[in-house]
Amino acid sequence: MPDATPEPLLTVEKLRVRFRTPTRVVEAVRGISFAVGREKVGIVGESGSGKSMTARALLRLVPPPGEVSADRLRVAGVDLLAADAKTMRDIRGRRISMVLQDPKFSLNPVMAVGRQIAEAYRAHHRASRTDARRRALEMLRAVRIRDPERVYDAYPHEVSGGMGQRIMIAMMLAPDPDLLIADEPTSALDVTVQMQVLAILDDLVSRRGMGLLFISHDLDLVASFCDRVLVMYGGRIVETVDAANLHAARHPYTRGLLAAVPRLDRIGTELPVLKRDPAWLTGEDPAR
Amino acid sequence: MIEVDLLDVRFGRGPKAVHAVRGVSFKVAKRETFGIVGESGSGKSTVLRVLSGLLHGWTGQVAIDGKPQGRKRAKAFHKLVQMVFQDPFASLHPRHTVDRLLSEPIAIHGLGNADGRIARALDEVGLGREFRFRYPHQLSGGQRQRIAIARALILEPRILLLDEPTSALDVSIQAEILNLLMRVRAEHGLTCVLVSHNLAVVAHLCDRLAVMNAGTVVEEMPVDRLRTGTPREPYTRQLLRASQGYDRKVVETFG
């Protein structure tokens, strides 16, 4: 029996990730809740804010001794908390795909890139080699690679960083996932290439009705690209804002981050430095 | 203070040679900060490595403080010119304490009063005395970059070369380091060359800048032209638009 109200693509309630070490317990993610529909949602935060750990927890890829707990963790109707290893393998790639920061480390160096894309497709769909190849070429075309036949047979070291990232995206999209998690997908790229890669993701969300969780440290980039932004600090979501209203953000952390970015229209003055308030870690927000 | 004329750098030989820098010329006046902006592979860091003497096998003229420079640099050169690198995780010796990192240049140049100099240098970059006997792994990225700046300043150089000094740092830490660089530059009357891919960072620190693409300087301009959004070259305009966030319509124009 389906629910009366449609369930969002991704539901996360009270997600926690903690690492127990012999000397102390590190709380990487402290009970965050959010939902993602067929939209572009950004997660912004500085290093150590827990944004990448959140993404890994969704795919159950938190390395030991990390412990993940949540009240609810559902993707496209599947309960991730109850899923066994086999179910998780079906989910990864098919339901949720993830694009990582640096294509150099995520592509298999001794396998032609086209075969890697075809393999990703065949892992989730019954298809002949010819069909998988056709699908891979189609994906390469979808990420605007001009000469897909040539690139299909190229090895990762033969392609540039921007091309490598597009190949990664093509591979992640081949199984047609419901949700794509992109963890700093463009920060290793030059600005112009970065914009082109974002345009590809943008089109995919609007054309295929895919959900996108876009993780980045770049507040301005996320605001200009996403629909909604979750701001993380110390393992908590301190604020959720509509991207268009980011500059009306209320939390002192968000405001501090925005002010610390050097901008072309105010040059040469001292930049305001972020003063961290310990209360941000516990959730007592002085602004509210 | 710095004069570069028709600098050419090639890596490798024969048909596979890479012509990384092609006939680059610029001048930097005393107490001026000059920026070099470009995307990866544009040759911007290579120019800086030639200036610092880290790279051999270039042709053209490089004069620093009126003296033409060759392949080998004298010891006095390194007292005059110091460099801060991009990655503070890679540029500090992992098994040396801050004290040893900072006392090495003092010993090499036979300056004496190491104690006083180290204390002063730590003060200057906003770190307390308690950092003196720590190892790099006990420091955060921002603190490491402060140590790298202290190490550069401890010889009281007159020229500071900065290679992407903040691109490995979070924005809030970047703001602190940029403020620090602006302060020490004013206090020491430094001449600086800053290399970065970030237009806003370059605009923030520099008086003039050169935009590089594929080994050549595409455009040299005062920073005001960037501020008012009126660069002359299409390449610079494209770079500027791309750095101002995502805009579907703008991406179409990149081709």
**Tens digits of per-residue pLDDT, A201-210?**
898 888 888 9
Tell me what pLDDT residue A286 has: 46
Compute the distance between CA of residue B118 and CA of residue B138 in angstroms, rounded to an integer. Answer: 18
Sequence letter at residue B208: R
Residue B154 has pLDDT above 80, yes or no: yes
Tell me what pLDDT residue A279 has: 81
Tell me what pLDDT residue A268 has: 62
For chain A, which residues make up each domain, given as ranges?
Answer: 1-95+178-250, 103-176
Tell me what pLDDT residue A101 has: 79
Between B82 and B87, residue with greater pLDDT: B82
Tell me what pLDDT residue B212 has: 95
CB A75 within 8 A of CB A177: no
Compute the distance between CA of residue A20 and CA of residue A28 in angstroms, rounded to an integer. Answer: 11
Across the interface, do B175 and A194 touch by the CB < 8 Å criterion?
A: no
Measured in degrees and rounded to the nearest 5, phi and psi for residue A202 equal -55, -50
Residue B91 token pair: 């540029």
Residue B114 token pair: 């190491």
Tell me what pLDDT residue A1 has: 46
Compute the distance between CA of residue B160 and CA of residue B56 in angstroms, rounded to an integer. Answer: 20
Cβ-proximal residues to B150 (8 Å cutoff; 6+ apart), any chain: B102, B121, B122, B124, B125, B127
- Mean of the per-residue pLDDT values for chain B? 91
**Tens digits of per-residue pLDDT, B177-230?**
999 999 999 999 999 999 999 999 999 999 999 999 989 999 999 999 988 888
Compute the distance between CA of residue A152 and CA of residue A115 in angstroms, rounded to an integer. Answer: 7
Compute the distance between CA of residue B131 and CA of residue B60 in angstroms, rounded to an integer. Answer: 43
Look at residue A126 and give its three-state secondary structure.
Answer: coil
Residue B172 near chain A (CB below 8 Å): yes
Across the interface, do A195 and B250 touch by the CB < 8 Å criterion?
A: yes
**Tens digits of per-residue pLDDT, A98-112?**
988 777 788 999 999
Sequence letter at residue B239: L
Across the interface, do B250 and A194 touch by the CB < 8 Å criterion?
A: no
Q: How far is Cα of residue A106 from the mean position of the Cα atoms in its chain?
A: 15
Residue A46 token pair: 């500085």
Q: Which fold has domain A1-95+178-250?
A: Rossmann fold (3.40.50)
Tell me what pLDDT residue A55 has: 92
- What ipTM did this prediction achieve? 0.81
Residue B139 has pLDDT above 60, yes or no: yes
Please state the length of chain B.
Answer: 255
DSSP run (H or E) holding B38: strand B33-38
**Tens digits of per-residue pLDDT, B41-70?**
889 999 999 999 999 889 999 999 999 998
pLDDT under 70 in chain A at which residues?
1-5, 267-268, 283-288
B197: closest CA of chain A, how far (Å):
8
Look at residue B159 and give its three-state secondary structure.
Answer: strand
Across the interface, do A274 and B242 touch by the CB < 8 Å criterion?
A: no
CB A137 within 8 A of CB A152: yes
Candidates A47, A161, A270; nearest CB to B170: A47
Compute the distance between CA of residue A247 and CA of residue A243 in angstroms, rounded to an integer. Answer: 9
Q: Domains, chain B, ranges and CATH? A: 2-91+158-252 (3.40.50.300)
This prediction has a pTM of 0.86
Pairing of strands B67-68, B58-64: antiparallel
The angle at the Cα of A117, spanning A116 to A120, to the nearest 5 degrees, equals 90
Sequence letter at residue B107: A
- CB contacts, 8 Å: A194 with chain B: 242
Across the interface, do B247 and A267 touch by the CB < 8 Å criterion?
A: no
Across the interface, do B227 and A265 touch by the CB < 8 Å criterion?
A: yes
**Tens digits of per-residue pLDDT, B16-33?**
788 999 999 999 999 999
- CB contacts, 8 Å: A195 with chain B: 242, 246, 250-251, 254
Tell me what pLDDT residue A284 has: 56
